[in-house]
Structure 1
């Protein structure tokens, strides 16, 4: 990813959250706890899926990929944000800012695509159960996942390339807690039409197209479920989709609010709160939502804890 070398600004200052000095340590502790919880929750899901043969299915393969992604998703922004609460200097280099932007957008793009692949898997399982093992083969799941990762990183590379080619003459103060698209475009002192157009087109592709797949998948799922005669079967079908639907609604709603608005609008505290929602709160609650509503994962966790308790009693 080639970065512009004609910008007069060599570093940016991240303002972060406007809070009283005596609350800095408190917010540092809150973000640190949230970060550690996200790491612990997602590592538990990954270990649970990969150590239980009963969970070696496409649905849990995609879920473990989502957990792996969210570990890095929060790592891109939270450590730097936490450091700003306890440090006087809030600078980030031009290259560091572009690198943070690239990985944050890449992982966000990949999550959008993975959240579209997961309901497609549920659509095949519920609407075409007799062909499920044929359609969702291991190789198909692998290629779908790799396609999500490669597409997410490629589209982000194009967006960041255009943003990095803009000239930043000053001021260099970013009214945000991490390097994001809108704050950077607001600081540019050159024509940014191409960068704005590229960002808008990419946002439509990466947000609206996967969202269309999600909506269509659930339309077919709901139509099929209503034709299931068994009340138990109907309840089971809905329970497998409900947790994913909650995650999708929260993630896409906040992402569309931030990334499909005009990019030259000034960044207010509302934007930072919404960004904190999808950058911190959503990754924090995603594993909880999936685990609490998924009986198979709860059973597997209980088995792991039981085996550990038995092995400790032996010693």
Structure 2
């Protein structure tokens, strides 16, 4: 590992919602970000967002190995899943193949791999993985990172909010479309563990610098927020009166697909205590405040349907 405080970090997913926040946080901490950029389908290079981007593709393991050059001190994988967890595992393994033993590798995962909180139990970093269907197989990607010879760490994010994006944006759009908030509900009223995207990015930076190999960290700023409250706040954000109407899982499955509907109906209570032990202190607005007064809040120009 580079003994200087500034590291050269290969960043997967640099143009995405989470990856963009991670890139900004890494640079604010004094690190040099090297984004991975894809080639255009016809074989010509895409116009890189930055001149120091390297060309590579998560579906091309040869390009990934080539991207981890000897001057790379750390790799952060904050890219979107490929839709095939075996392919994601192959991509991570290819990146790890070229890592120095003292190099940091941080994989951004999610708390959905833990499954539901049975009987309201608190899920922590030592809880076994019981992934719901939409992420079934992601635990194999985590395992590859945690058992690698590099200093591998997994950061599991709760439902991410902030900067007007993520699943909360979808809920605001639903409220605007239907004239009231809506939330997917099963027999148990769902609750979500949540984190602001910039607090998540701060934890990734800490993990790059401090997390020992084999570490799981939960990026959870709020352990459990009832989804009915999130839906009401989403209606407020859309300019409504804070009304929330449940959406049965069966009906939501027909519109969204069964796997995503199951995820939105998930009831979780998740601890992020280990992250706080390495110095993580989330400081951004709570999800409800962010919806009502922050990045999602209604503006005078927002019109509601009649």
Pair in the same fold by TM > 0.5: no
Shorter-chain TM-score tier: under 0.3
- Identify which of structures 1 and 2 has the higher relative contact order when contacts are C-alpha pairs closer than 8 Å and 6+ apart: 1
Larger radius of gyration: 1
TM-score (norm 1): 0.27
Q: TM-score, normalised by structure 2?
A: 0.28
More strand by share: 2
